[in-house]
A = this chain, B = another copy of it.
């Protein structure tokens, strides 16, 4: 019931056939939203750095805070988001919590994007 035709442009400007064809070829809305959530979580320097660091070494919250000169709280907040997206896992050892990457794909996605940005100049 959301598919009602809303008139946005004059009929002459819109190529309805093309529009319909493209509409059918797009992924479903829920997949698009999941995709954007994946990209969004990598779209912040702090979080991306955390992911890159954890891809190399298992680190505790203090290590990450020191590494990026940020407060422990700020790191912890971001780790919570990364946990929510199941991108990182953790291991408790006494008071300390060691985080590491928990995703096989994210590394490849970042690597591909890295190739991309290197070619931009």
Contact = CB atoms under 8 A, between A and B. Distances in A.
Interface of A: 2, 6, 8-10, 13-16, 18-19, 21-23, 25-27, 31-45, 48-49, 52-53, 56-57, 59-60, 62-63, 65-67, 69-72, 86, 96, 103, 105-106, 108-110, 112-120
A53 B24 CA distance: 10
How many monomers of this protein are in the complex? 2
Given A8-B71, A9-B62, A27-B114, 18 more contacts: A6-B69, A8-B66, A9-B65, A13-B96, A15-B59, A19-B66, A22-B57, A26-B52, A35-B110, A35-B114, A35-B117, A39-B42, A39-B113, A40-B40, A41-B43, A86-B120, A103-B116, A105-B119
